[in-house]
Amino acid sequence: MNELAAATAESLDVEAVRAQFPILARTVNGRPLLFLDSAASSQKPRRVVEELRRFYYEDYANIHRGVYELSQRASQLHDQARRAVQRFLGARDWREIVFVRSTTEAINLVAWSFLRPRLRPGDEILVTEMEHHANIVPWQIVAGERDARVVVVPVTDAGELDLDALRRMLGPRTRLLAVTWVSNVLGTVNPVAEIAALARARGVPVLVDAAQAAPHLPVDVAALGCDFLAFSAHKMYGPTGVGVLWARLEHLEAMPPWQGGGDMIDRVSFAGTTFADPPFRFEAGTPDIAGIVALREAVAFVEALGRARIAAYEAALVARLEARLGEIPGVRVLGRPARRASAVAFTVDGVHHQDLGTMLDLEGVCIRTGHHCAMPLHARFGLAGSARASVAVYNTREEIERFADILARTIALLRG
Ligand code: PMP
């Protein structure tokens, strides 16, 4: 970390941040909650929960339908959330922001509406060995329908993408490259701008899965140079049930709808229906209006802290976490990437990760155990699963030390 980053990291008042998360004050099994599973879903700050409540109590109505004041007010708040997300991502145009249910739905939308119509037998979709199942299975489904193939960029022993292999694998049949920005298991931060430049130089569109990046790193789609980017509100201090797909407007304009219903049409008759312009064409039916409105507060929460500051603060936590894990006998940290964000996965010699998770729960510690929806990555390391600790901006240095102490004790106990 350079000096500037260190200075910014120190300037984050973590106790003031924690005070915004009431759940962090609770105990679990009689112990103070030590929440290290934010990669699965983050906790929620007061301003997000209060906005949900306020919206339902004061401004709630369905959007884009009523001529009455309340519906117009709800529609306005929904529009403002879209513009907040547009600014947050550095998008050129609000029409490039599509509200969906989750990262999973965003990727499925691209698979069905963008890729499927242009996929021919023998075509290839490039993914990587470190993808979450959400960035594998939708491509397999459309590939299966079209006799196309999913081709996999390997991961090195260090837990990084093999960029030489990626270069070689970008071929004349590659129709899309789908890559995660941050691995939800290893925490590896991939050089997605460099990867997008490589792919686009060969005319290959790029989808970036930013589910694990949006809460931790500055995001600027113009600087990234990708074609599609997806993230989920619930991992970024926002509500469940809301996700965002950003796509270049020219793609959205050329894409057919993938779900039909209310709100996505221009005119409907039994002779034929015409569709609305993006983003509405992709937003059939009543969305999670309150969730979208409250997402704006999650965005404001992150922006108020500053994304560079969050990244610097968390980088110091992750470095300490990795160092402490490395000192515990029997613990093996997966990968050694040059840059990690939030997540560190590990195994313990002679101890099953499930047993470890159960024992840690008794100490008030929440970590994730299992395959973390990344079975192929675990297979790559010869594992069925692992334990994963992941941090967010509300975790403290003291919590990392306490976690490592509890973990060392628990392992000693389990290994007898
Ligand atoms: N991609 C990555 C990298 C993830 O970590 C996750 C969630 N674990 C997803 C996609 C899927 O997100 P969601 O379940 O919110 O759709």
Of ligand 1's listed atoms, the one at least distance from the Cα of 134 is 10
Which band of pLDDT confidence, cut at 50, 70 and 90, is reported for residue 4?
Answer: very low
Could you report the per-residue pLDDT of 287-318, keeping only the tens digit for each? 999 999 999 999 999 999 999 999 999 999 99
Ligand 1 pocket, 132 CB below 6 A?
A: yes
Q: Judge whether 366 counts as a catalytic residue.
A: no
305 Cα to the center of ligand 1, angstroms: 24
CA distance 385 to 177: 26
Check residue 9 and give its pLDDT: 52
Return the domain boundaries, the chain: 3-45+306-415, 89-286
Residue 232 CA: nearest ligand 1 atom is 15
Statement: the pTM of the whole predicted model exceeds 0.95: yes
Name the one residue in this structure whose structure tokens are 């941090």. Answer: 391
Chosen CATH of 3-45+306-415 out of 3.30.9.10, 3.40.50.300, 3.30.470.10, 3.90.1150.10 = 3.90.1150.10
Estimate to the nearest angstrom the gap between the alpha carbon of 214 and the chain centroid. 6
What pLDDT band is residue 10 in, cutting at 50, 70 and 90? low
Q: Judge whether residue 7 has pLDDT over 60.
A: no
CATH 3.40.640.10 corresponds to the domain 89-286: yes
Ligand 1 center–CA 30 separation, angstroms: 31
Residue nearest to atom 12 of ligand 1 (CA): 103
> Average model confidence (pLDDT) for the chain?
96
Which amino acid, residue 326?
G
Among 373, 391, 393, 406, the one annotated catalytic: 373
Does any ligand 1 atom lie closer than 6 A to the CB of residue 297?
A: no
The answer to whether the beta carbons of residues 192 and 19 sit under 8 Å apart is no
pLDDT in tens, 228-253: 999 999 999 999 999 999 999 999 99
